[in-house]
Structure 1
Amino acid sequence: MSEETIKQLQKLAITKRLNFLLGSGTSVPAIPLMGTYKDIDGKSANEQLSERVQEVSKRLLMKDELAERDIYTVLDNYQKFIEGVVTILNLSNSRQIPKNVNIFTTNYDLYIEKATDQILKKYRLVFNDGASGYFDRYLDSSNYNRTVSYKGLNDNYINEIPSITLIKPHGSMNWEEHNENILIKNEVVENPVIVKPDGYEASTTFESNHFHEMLRIFQMELDKPQSVLFVIGFSFQDKHIAKMVKRAVQNPELMVYVFGYSDDDRQMFLENLGFENERSNFIILTPKNFDDCYTNRYTDVENGDEWFSFTLSNLTNILMRIKLGDLKDDET
């Protein structure tokens, strides 16, 4: 079962319009989940989480060598993930699908930006965060629908350059409001434009034209034919995004694969989406669906019981193993 699942995931990644939805779980343990914070000393859980995200983002940009190991362990996970995505894009056929991957994330930390900055030093790659400008870079959704090509010195060929499109529907630590526009800076700003996880994400998001536009793009990408969405680190507790995914699976050409951290996540995903069961184009994969070599193994020191998890690094390992010869598919 596992090897068949692996081959199917690899085939979809390389032959379909590729999209990722990354949630807060992908930045753990550097940034703990919201549920681990409690109101204390007059400071709300939301404030504590925002301060932690801000602190981690600052340390990433300043290359703080004294920062705790978790911060750079997570950065390494993101870098390997981005490298795996680039591997897929370089193998895909631009005559069939664009050499582009959309990464949607509800996180407002700067991990993806920092990781991609490192990867850009090794690969020819376009990173599109929706900004335009030189000294002053402003967010504009119209900038997302772009492809970039490289032509030979004698104009004798044109090759599409792989591109990563980053879309952050909950804002970012380097977004600053400026004259009713969003200025994307190369530093953590004092009052970032973010949607805090306070239970009112849906109303806050739709009150903002910018955030509404980010979600509109998310919906449009999922409505495109021959698309696949990989979801990881996301529990579907954000009702507005859950509702969009629920609507999107009505598109029979869309495949959605949701990766659970533990086997218990399967039922939680279904309940949060209001699904009774999985569907032909909505599939949940948890550690039990994979061979042990694709999961993380833990042992309870008290009773010796073993349990397994599936994380971003495990998904990356699957993506990095893609070989055209193994897929045996005429399309590739």
Structure 2
Amino acid sequence: MVQFHIINNDDETVKVLAPYIQSGNLNFLIGSGASLPAIKTAGNIEKKLDKLIKDGKTAEADCEMIDFIETIGKTYKQLNEEAVYPADLDETLNNYRRFISTIDQILFYRKNEILPRQATIFSTNYDMFVEFAASNLPSIIINDGFDRSSGQSENFAFAPEKYFDRTYRASSLYARRVEIPTINLIKPHGSLNWTKRGSNLVYNASAVQPLMPAEKANPAKVSEYLSKHFLIMPNFRKFHETLMERVYYDLLRLFSKSMEQENAALMAFGFSFSDEHILDITKRALRNPTSQLIIFAYSHDDIDLYRAKFDKHRNVSVIGPPAGTNIDFLRLNNILAAVLPEIKNG
């Protein structure tokens, strides 16, 4: 049975989390709830698109998808071009900065020398908040799966074998080797900075220009716009080419492999597990008796949602707030920060 922890203060949560953070292979799963308030949650867009397509309203479904992408693309453009960010964008970016900074500190200070100083963030979001947050924290190493050994280029090739590479620093005096914390960023649904070059997936720093209102009425322009994005669309037509399908399943296999490690700990935030592929893989991976899934429920009402999905699993813990309060990104960051003293002194 799922374990439930209704928390009134962060000290209670520290007691639950500290053992997993200190001795587990750390993984984080974040969904659209993590990018609030800058971007609204995806909600039921997948069901909405599926119904439109099943009803033969393909053009209407494509326009809905464009609106969804352009909402996220607007934040990418602001992050790229504006010197002063709107308040909601700034709040979201600061949440991400603090999140990856805290993960980096946890990896640096934890005492277990057998485990790699490495954590993995799985994000189903198309947005670029993790990448931009990391660019503001130059001491943090983010591995996004692209091969940058070729030097300066906007066309870095995607090389998933680069994931889980470990980084070391050696002392010049005694040649003592010390592992540097690294964070893998894996985005199974794609990203706004991914595009196709020939038969390869490459990193593309340029945002795709939004369509003009008149262009949205042109099916050819709509199709061209959607094809420029290397994104797994939230509907049953997820794949429109073999390369996209291959990348998607490669990344899902990495997710499965991470959960199958001994003492794997997966902390989920802002994610409803409505993605059936990820839900199924997570349930299968929980057959590993040493793995642990820890879900942070945004509201007290959300607890029942997770109860229904994982009721038969003993290695699942749901951390939820009392009625009338929430666990938002700020609260999550406070919880993770409260674990740090335990890690340093443990």
With normalisation by structure 1, the TM-score equals: 0.84
Q: Of 29, 34, 41, which residue of structure 2 is paired with 1:21? A: 29
Alpha-carbon distance, 1:233 to partner: 0.4
SS for the counterpart of 1:308 is coil
Corresponding position: 1:46 with 2:83: no
Instruction: Supply the AA of the counterpart residue of 2:192.
Output: M
Taking structure 1 as reference, are residues 278 and 74 closer, same or farther at Cα in structure 2, changes over 3 Å only? Answer: farther
- Pick from 226, 234, 255 the counterpart of residue 197 of structure 1: 234
Which of 176, 179, 193 does residue 157 from structure 1 map onto? 176
CA shift for structure 1 position 192: 2.1
Q: Does 1:285 align with 2:293?
A: no
Deviations 1:185-243 (A, max 9, x none): 23324522111222554998996111111111010000000110000000011100011
What is the letter of the counterpart of residue 261 of structure 1? Answer: Y
RMSD over aligned Cα atoms: 2.7
Q: Deviation per CA, 1:109-143: give whole Å up to 9, x if none.
A: 000000011122xx3x3211011032231111101
Match of 1:111 in 2: 129
Distance 1:63 1:103 in 2: 27
Q: Take 2:165 and 2:43, find their aligned partners in 1: how far apart are those partners? A: 38
CA contact (8 A) 1:26 1:312 kept: yes
Secondary structure, counterpart of 1:309 in structure 2: coil
8 A contact 1:177–1:193 mirrored in 2: yes
Question: Secondary structure of 1:35's partner?
Answer: coil
Equivalent residue in structure 2 for 1:73, among 68, 91, 116: 91
- Is 2:325 aligned against 1:317? no
> Cα offset for 1:68?
2.8
Residues 1:285 and 1:322: Cα distance change in structure 2 (over 3 Å): closer
Give the letter for the 1:29 counterpart: P
Q: Do the aligned partners of 1:14 and 1:92 also contact (CA within 8 Å) in 2?
A: yes
The alignment partner of 2:29 has SS state of strand
Aligned partner letter, 1:218: F
The answer to whether the Cα contact below 8 Å between 1:228 and 1:254 also exists between their aligned partners in 2 is yes
Deviation (angstroms), 1:172: 0.5
| 1:221 alignment partner in structure 2 | 258
Q: 1:202 to 1:230 in 2, by over 3 A?
A: farther
| Structure 2 counterparts to residues 100-249 of structure 1, below 5 A | 100-120=118-138, 123=139, 125-133=140-148, 134=151, 135=153, 136-189=155-208, 191-201=228-238, 208-249=245-286
Preserved CA contact (<8 Å) 2:199 2:243: no
> For 2:136, what is the secondary structure of its paired residue?
helix
Tell me the SS of whatever aligns to 2:65: helix
Q: Secondary structure of 1:215's match?
A: helix
Any conservation in 1 of the 2:269–2:295 contact (CA below 8 Å)? yes
What one-letter code is carried by the residue in structure 2 that aligns with 1:50?
A: I
Offset of residue 95 of structure 1: 2.2
Please name the residue that 1:291 is paired with. none
Separation in 1 of the partners of 2:270 and 2:282?
15
Give the alignment partner of residue 31 of structure 1, picking from 30, 34, 39: 39
> Could you tell me which of 63, 77, 101 is aligned with 2:82?
63
Could you tell me how far apart the structure 1 residues matched to 2:145 and 2:340 are? Answer: 31
Q: TM-score, normalised by structure 2?
A: 0.81
Question: Which gives a bigger RCO, structure 1 or 2 (Cα 8 Å, sep 6+)?
Answer: 2
User: Is 1:11 matched up with 2:19?
Assistant: yes
Secondary structure of the residue aligned to 2:268 is: strand
Aligned to 1:292: none
Q: Secondary structure at the match of 2:324?
A: strand
* 1:86 paired residue among 89, 104, 118: 104
**What is the identity percentage for the equivalent residue pairs of Structure 1 and Structure 2?**
29
Distance 1:235 1:76 in 2: 23
Q: Which amino acid aligns with 2:321?
A: P
Check whether the contact 1:195–1:204 (CA below 8 A) recurs between aligned residues. Answer: no
The amino acid across from 1:74 in the alignment is T
Segment drifting more, 310-319 vs 219-228: 310-319
CA contact (8 A) 1:205 1:211 kept: no
Relative to structure 2, which stretch is displaced further, 197-206 or 153-162?
A: 197-206
- How much has 1:83 moved relative to structure 2? 1.2
Matched position secondary structure for 1:307: coil
Alignment check: 8 A CA contact 2:268 2:293 kept: yes
